[in-house]
Amino acid sequence: MKLLGMALFRSAFLLNNSMDVKKVSKNREKKEQLVAEIAEKVGKSKAMVFTNYQGMTHKQLEELKRALKDANAELVVTKNTLLKLSLSKASINADGHEEGFNNPTATLFAYEDVIAPLKHLAKTLKNLGLPTIKFGIMDGQALTSDQVLTLASLPSREILLAQVVGGLKSPIFGLHRALSWNLQKLVMTLNAINANRPQTTVDSNGKQPIAKSNQEVVVEELKTENTTKDIEGTANEVEKDLPSDQENKVESGSQKTEDSKQDFEGGEN
C-alpha cells in the first residue's frame, strides 16, 4: 500500500512537471514570435522613435495610431526586454540609451516618409503633453528628443517635392521668356528695316531700276503738285485777258493745257 502511494505521488509529480514544461514552451514560442515580428518592423523602418505613453488614455493612444497609419507608420507597444532583443536581432545598436528602456515604451516605426509621422507625434505631444519622447534612431544613428522634434519641424516629403519641381520649372519659364523676347525684338527690327527701305522706280526707258528714298519721293511729289498749280494759274490769267471772240480758242488752249498736265503726270508716274 505504501509503495502504491509512492507510485501515485511520483506520477502526479511528473505529470505536473510536464504541464509546466509545455506552458513554458508555449510562452517561449510566443515571445520568440513577438521578437521576430518586431525585428521585422525594425528592419524595414527608416526611422524609429521610442516614447513613454504613460498617462495617455486608450482613446488617445488609438487616435494617434490611426493618424500614424495614414502616414504609413505604426505605433507598437511592447515590453522593453522583447524590444531590446528585437533591436539586437536586427543589429541595431542602442548603447548609451539604456535608461530609455526603464519605463513602458511605445515605438513609432516610420516606413516611408519620416517627417510626416513625426509631425503627427509632435502635434499630439503639443496638444496633450504626451507621449514623452525618449530617443530615436534613424539611418543607424541615435537621436535625442530635441533632434526628433527638430526633424518634425521640417517640411514634409510632399512639400519638398513640390519645391523641387518648382525650382526645376523656373529656369524653363525664364528660357521661354528670353526666347519670346528675342523673337519679338527680331520682328520689330525687321519691321523697322522694311519701313526705312528705299522705294524703287523704273526710268523712262523701262530698263534700269532707280532707287529713291522716301524723302526724294515726297520732294518730287511736291514739285509735281506745284508745277500743275502754276500751269492752271497761267491759263486762267490768259483767259481773262483775251477778248470774248477768242473764248473758244482759250477753251481749246485750256483743253490742251489739261492734256499736257495729264501727259506730264503720266510721265512722272
At 39-80, the pLDDT tens digits run 999 999 999 999 999 999 999 999 999 999 999 999 999 999
pLDDT for 218-243, tens place per residue? 445 555 555 555 555 555 554 555 44
> For the residues 1-17, what does the mean pLDDT come to?
56
Q: Cα–Cα distance between 53 and 131 in angstroms, integer? A: 5
Task: Output the CA–CA distances (angstroms, integers) from residue 185 to 99, 177, 179, 189, in the order listed.
Answer: 72, 12, 10, 6
pLDDT at 4: 55
pLDDT at 72: 94
Q: Is this prediction's pTM over 0.85?
A: no
**pLDDT reading at 104 higher than 60:** yes
> For the residues 105-109, what does the mean pLDDT come to?
96
Look-up of cell digits 495610431: 65
Cβ atoms of 117 and 108 within 8 Å: the answer is: yes
Who has greater pLDDT, 156 or 203? 156
Task: Output the CA–CA distances (angstroms, integers) from residue 74 to 3, 13, 23, 67, 261, in the order listed.
Answer: 61, 46, 31, 9, 104
Who has greater pLDDT, 92 or 183? 92
